[in-house]
């Protein structure tokens, strides 16, 4: 098992600042105070290591399996599991190499705990930068479209910052759609407008009534060149859907289709934001400009992130 990949939080034990997104999911970090079932500090006495469910024993097992942040992961597993059998099963799955977020069933994203089902793309901490950029462009009553939504983390995180927002999200992967529906449903009551998730290829499943109305289009589309997929960390390669990464020969195949459709769905002055690699950025900008949008690039050293922000010119 590899260390936490660089695109994830270096320490998964960062406490979210808001309530859990998953109703009834009493995870470790959703509350300001530790829940009563929270694990003891990892300084337990000698007996602790002999109990296979103790924090020390769980951390030792994870460390032996190659987890670099074994103590943090042990705390999260112990606080998420509801029974000793649950702890054992989670430790087994993590030791077998499943991403921590798939083991827990959730990921932290911009202070929210987002449900992540097996096989569904785990929202990366890096992508918070994209949402940060979007927040500055989003009015309280914005119409938000999260294309290639995966778990729906981006759209949900943006929509909760804009209380009168209308949220639409779509993905081609039925497992992602089911997961996004749960996450969107969990925040729907906090939004004034409708909140819907559609299944299908890019814009194809969207209601025609959305055309020309989208203020902010988030599209964290696949952008890994096909040949580079084999170089991804095993956790990603083996446990997230290939279609979540595969951006075709140059990594821009899906983006070209997103860009081509964007002018039809964005309102004049509306924005398309997507993540890209530093190397692809200039080609990505050319792609959206050829589609009639004006583009700029925002980068963050802190997040190691490159985001293209493209705007449909006022007509």
Ligand X SMILES: C[S@@+](CC[C@H](N)C(=O)[O-])C[C@H]1O[C@@H](n2cnc3c(N)ncnc32)[C@H](O)[C@@H]1O
Chain residues that interact with ligand X, rule: CB under 6 A: 121, 123, 127, 148-151, 153-154, 171-173, 176, 201-202, 220-222, 241, 243-244, 254
Q: Least distance to ligand X from the beta carbon of 273, Å?
A: 11
- Residue 288: both structure tokens together: 């959206």
Which residue lies nearer to ligand X by CB, 221 or 295?
A: 221
Q: Least distance to ligand X from the beta carbon of 178, Å?
A: 12
- Residue 235: both structure tokens together: 């956790």
Which residue lies nearer to ligand X by CB, 254 or 262?
A: 254
Q: Least distance to ligand X from the beta carbon of 140, Å?
A: 23
Which residue lies nearer to ligand X by CB, 89 or 229?
A: 229
Nearest-angstrom CA–CA distance, 304 and 259: 23
Q: Least distance to ligand X from the beta carbon of 92, Å?
A: 26
Q: Least distance to ligand X from the beta carbon of 134, Å?
A: 12
Q: Least distance to ligand X from the beta carbon of 303, Å?
A: 13
Which residue lies nearer to ligand X by CB, 61 or 126?
A: 126
Q: Least distance to ligand X from the beta carbon of 68, Å?
A: 23
Which residue lies nearer to ligand X by CB, 201 or 227?
A: 201
Which residue lies nearer to ligand X by CB, 191 or 244?
A: 244
- Residue 93: both structure tokens together: 């799955």
Are β-strands 166-171 and 143-147 bridged in parallel, bridged antiparallel, or unpaired? parallel
Which residue lies nearer to ligand X by CB, 76 or 145?
A: 145
3-state helix, strand, coil in the chain (%, to 5): 35, 20, 45
Which position's Cβ is nearest ligand X?
A: 150
């Amino acid at each position: 098992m590899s260390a936490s990949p660089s695109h994830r939080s270096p320490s998964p034990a960062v406490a979210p600042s808001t309530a859990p997104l998953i109703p009834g999911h009493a995870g470790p970090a959703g509350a300001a105070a530790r829940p009563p079932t929270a694990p003891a500090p990892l300084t337990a006495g000698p007996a602790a290591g002999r109990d296979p469910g103790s924090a020390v024993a769980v951390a030792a097992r994870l460390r032996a399996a190659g987890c670099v942040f074994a103590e943090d992961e042990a705390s999260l597993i112990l606080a998420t599991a509801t029974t000793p059998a649950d702890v054992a099963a989670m430790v087994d799955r993590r030791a077998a190499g499943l991403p921590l977020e798939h083991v827990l069933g959730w990921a932290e994203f911009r202070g929210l705990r987002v449900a992540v089902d097996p096989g569904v793309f785990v929202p990366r901490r890096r992508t918070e930068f994209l949402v940060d950029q979007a927040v500055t462009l989003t009015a309280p009553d914005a119409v938000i479209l999260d294309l290639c939504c995966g778990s729906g983390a981006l759209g949900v995180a943006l929509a909760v910052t804009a209380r009168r927002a209308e949220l639409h999200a779509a993905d081609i992967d039925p497992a992602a759609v089911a997961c996004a529906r749960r996450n969107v449903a969990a925040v729907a009551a906090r939004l004034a407008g409708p909140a819907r998730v559609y299944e299908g290829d890019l814009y194809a499943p969207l209601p025609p009534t959305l055309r020309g109305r989208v203020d902010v289009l988030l599209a964290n589309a696949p952008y890994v060149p096909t040949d580079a997929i084999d170089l991804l960390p095993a956790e990603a390669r083996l446990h997230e859907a290939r279609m979540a990464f595969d951006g075709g020969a140059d990594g821009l195949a899906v983006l070209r289709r997103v860009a081509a459709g964007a002018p039809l769905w964005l309102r004049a002055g509306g924005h398309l934001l997507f993540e890209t690699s530093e190397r692809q950025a200039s080609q990505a900008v050319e792609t959206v400009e050829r589609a009639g949008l004006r583009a700029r690039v925002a980068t963050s050293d802190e997040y190691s992130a490159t985001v293209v922000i493209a705007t449909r010119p006022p007509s």
